[in-house]
Amino acid sequence: MTELLTPDICVIGAGSGGLSVSAAAAAFGVDVVLVEKGLMGGDCLNYGCVPSKSLLAAAKAASGVRRNAMFGIHSSGQDIDFAKANDHVRSVIAAIEPHDSQERFEDLGVTVLREPARFTGADTVLVGDTEIRARRFVVATGSTAFIPPVPGLDDVPYLTNETLFELREVPEHLAIIGAGPIGLEMAQAHRRLGARVTVFEAARALGKDDQELGAVVLETLRNEGIEILEETAVEKVAKTDEGTAISARTSDGAVVELVASHLLVATGRAPNVDGLGLDAAGIDYDRKGIRVDKGLRTTNRKVYAIGDVAGGLQFTHVAGYQAGLIIRSILFRMPIAMDDTIVPWVTFTSPELAHVGMSEAEARAEYGARVKVLTSTYLGNDRAQAEGLTAGRLKLIAGPRGRLLGADIVGAQAGEIINLLSLALSKKMTMKDLAGFIAPYPTLGELVRRAAISYYAEAPKNVWLRRVIGMLRKFG
């Protein structure tokens, strides 16, 4: 017999966005049903941000040993235990898991159902033997690795982010298809932990980031021994006794062939829409995900969609941001509008690469000659010199009246520095604001202030200012 539940909100998907909505609504005493067919915590906790950054931390530690000589500290040798590095990944997931667990959310007052959900009508979802009729629904089912239609790929063993972190031995030769953030982060992690790594990219590596600053990352990775083949498309793969044979072609027609022990596919994400019964609910979607308006509502006004499944920028922090927006809409009837121009992102390689706001090209297209590009280098930062981390640069994009339009950083702790600039952008701050704050010395944060001060570099040459100063001097 089918059980009927009539909560105020039904959330489908217990990843970052779904958990945030559920916790916030429950805190206000709202009746919430949360449905998850897989692991609590979703992709970020189990297969994405958490394990990847944990493995990168292990790789950074290995790299740190190699850097010791520059500080006069000499090691007799280095032995990398890849299984132990994997144990670290597991331990970090285990430490965070309770925060995202079914038990915690049930303690918050959320009803949690652990089965697939399927819409059967505009305001009805079926979960196993339970029918849910809610006032509002939130679809937050996330995404999975997109598998490109490469001939032979179905016939060879390959890794995605969902299986990569199960490895207990370092790959002898890891080939990666895709030179975006995931592909390059995992390339560096595995190279530093002992693997030979080759990366194939059909277009430009780090194609969404500032090309000049991205080149600093690519040069570092190549200097560490990673082979990055840009404008080189994989045409076919085949299984051999030695591993996986890969055949690719460069933009000028040259053929590249190699055999790798392991193959990782990192060519983007595909929204999780299959099996949801979206057609039955009158919800439009395409290959990019569920279509939503600026208020994150679908074509069914009772249903919202957030996170990766809604297309757009696919980051955990975006799902969290969107969750906050729809809580305002559902609970308080406040008008909301998603603003993706204030969303920062970071590639967590060493050096890190961070961005927020407009790119230089976008700013010039809109504001023309009124745009100023202000820079400061890690080479000129005293903390970077002390740490031996001088490879890097910060770039501020200033528009009319010095307003911050965007920022790009490559270098150590770029992901931390971009926090300040993300706040400044969201609050419409100017170069005057950024030049006026006090940064403790010596810190990498001084990079921001130094770049902002350069906005006024021409002021001492201003004839009128010089005359004003001269006049004031006459008063003693």
Residue 32 contacts residue 6 (beta carbons within 8 Å): no
Which pair of tokens denotes residue 79? 């032995």
Which of 416, 405, 301 lies closest to 354 in space, CA to CA?
416
4 pLDDT above the threshold of 70: yes
Q: For position 457, what pLDDT does the model report?
A: 81
Q: For position 332, what pLDDT does the model report?
A: 96
Q: Comparing 446 with 71, which gets the higher pLDDT?
A: 446
pLDDT per position as a tens digit, 319-362: 999 999 999 999 999 999 999 999 999 999 999 999 999 999 99
Which of 166, 161, 159, 345 lies closest to 260 in space, CA to CA?
159
Which residues are part of a known binding site? 53, 141-143, 178-185, 201, 268, 308
| Confidence tier at 1 by pLDDT (50, 70, 90) | low
pLDDT per position as a tens digit, 398-412: 999 999 999 999 999
Length of the chain: 476
User: Cβ neighbours of residue 476 under 8 Å, at least 6 residues apart?
Assistant: none
| Confidence tier at 77 by pLDDT (50, 70, 90) | low
pLDDT per position as a tens digit, 242-276: 999 999 999 999 999 999 999 999 999 999 999 99
Q: For position 191, what pLDDT does the model report?
A: 98
Which residues are part of a known binding site for NAD(+)? 178-185, 201, 268
| Confidence tier at 68 by pLDDT (50, 70, 90) | confident
Q: What does the domain layout of the chain look like in residue ranges?
A: 3-144+270-340, 153-268, 351-460
Q: For position 71, what pLDDT does the model report?
A: 81
Q: Which CATH class is domain 153-268?
A: alpha beta
Domains 3-144+270-340 and 351-460 share a fold: no
CATH T-level topology, domain 351-460? Enolase-like; domain 1 (3.30.390)
How much is the average pLDDT of 371-382?
98
Which pair of tokens denotes residue 33? 């049903």
How much is the average pLDDT of 227-234?
98
Q: For position 76, what pLDDT does the model report?
A: 63
Residue 298 to residue 337: CA distance in whole angstroms: 14
pLDDT per position as a tens digit, 7-27: 999 999 999 999 999 999 999
Residue 265 contacts residue 248 (beta carbons within 8 Å): no
pTM of the model: 0.94
* β-strand pairing of 227-229 with 196-200: parallel
Q: For position 109, what pLDDT does the model report?
A: 97
Which residues are part of a known binding site for FAD? 53, 141-143, 308
Residue 304 contacts residue 331 (beta carbons within 8 Å): no
Most distant CA atoms of the chain, gap in Å = 94
User: CATH number of the domain at 3-144+270-340, out of 3.30.110.30, 3.40.50.10700, 3.50.50.60, 3.40.50.620?
Assistant: 3.50.50.60
Q: For position 155, what pLDDT does the model report?
A: 96
237 pLDDT above the threshold of 80: yes
How much is the average pLDDT of 39-50?
96
